[in-house]
Amino acid sequence: MTSIPGYASMKINVADLRDNASMAISFDETIILPDEYLLTDRVVFLSFAGNICKKNNLYILNLEAKGRLSAECDFCLIQVKQPIVFTVSEIFSGYESDDEDIWVFHGDTIDIFEAVRMNMLLNFPSSFICKAGCKGLCPKCGRNLNEKDCGCQPDPDPRFDILKELRR
Ligand SMILES: [Zn+2]
Ligand SMILES: [Zn+2]
């Protein structure tokens, strides 16, 4: 994901958040995935809902994100839409911290983009499949074998050709 200035909703102003208080958060955001994500559509629309609460000068963020990814089935290449759901449960501090699990911010605004990005990539689907047992494409003629069997014969075992060469 590129950090483009459009992610304004990911900048949360906590100046008015008192200790032991919480603030509801809900927003929609469109995230553009980097080129290495070979999706049909790398623009992902996500809905976020949750809250941020302040305790002992720490800000605890709990968000749930939901969206849909468009990609090609890994086997037959037809278009599939797959849901993506992930949570963002992170702690932020306005002071420096030795705790590696705490995100440090400065000023009144917490930029949650990196935390969201990290959680999204951790929960990213590793495969896209149109349906269980997808038969994929025929390696010879390219037909989608879920639609119809093409009748192509499988190639003979290449080891057989080597034997023929040796006997010559
Ligand atoms: Zn498929
Ligand atoms: Zn075929």
Q: Are residue 126 and residue 141 in the same domain, yes or no?
A: no
What CA–CA distance (Å, rounded) separates 131 from 143? 17
Strand-strand pairing, 102-104 and 79-93: parallel
What's the mean pLDDT in 162-166?
Answer: 66
Q: Are 44 and 31 in contact (CB under 8 A)?
A: yes
pLDDT at residue 39, rounded to an integer: 74
More confident residue, 36 or 21: 21
Least confident of 3-17, 111-125, 141-155: 3-17
Q: Are residues 98 and 147 in the same domain?
A: no
Domain total of the chain: 2
The mean pLDDT value of the chain amounts to: 88
Residues 165 and 148 in one domain: yes
Going from the Cα of 127 to the center of ligand 1, the distance in angstroms, rounded, reads 11
Instruction: Give the domain extent around 62.
Output: 8-134
Relative to the alpha carbon of 78, which ligand is closest?
1
Say whether both 77 and 120 belong to one domain. yes
Q: Which ligand is nearest to the CA of 149?
A: 2
pLDDT at 2 over 50: no
Spatial CA neighbour of 105 closest among 5, 18, 10: 10
Task: Say if 118 falls within a structural domain.
Answer: yes
- Structure tokens, 135: 């038969």
Report d(CA 101, CA 107) in Å as an integer: 20
Q: Are residues 85 and 166 in the same domain?
A: no
Residue 98 CA to residue 129 CA, distance in Å, equals 42
28 and 66 both lie in a single domain: yes
Mean pLDDT of 53-74: 94
Residues 159 and 121 both lie in one domain = no
Q: How far is the CA of 64 from the centre of ligand 1 (A)?
A: 29
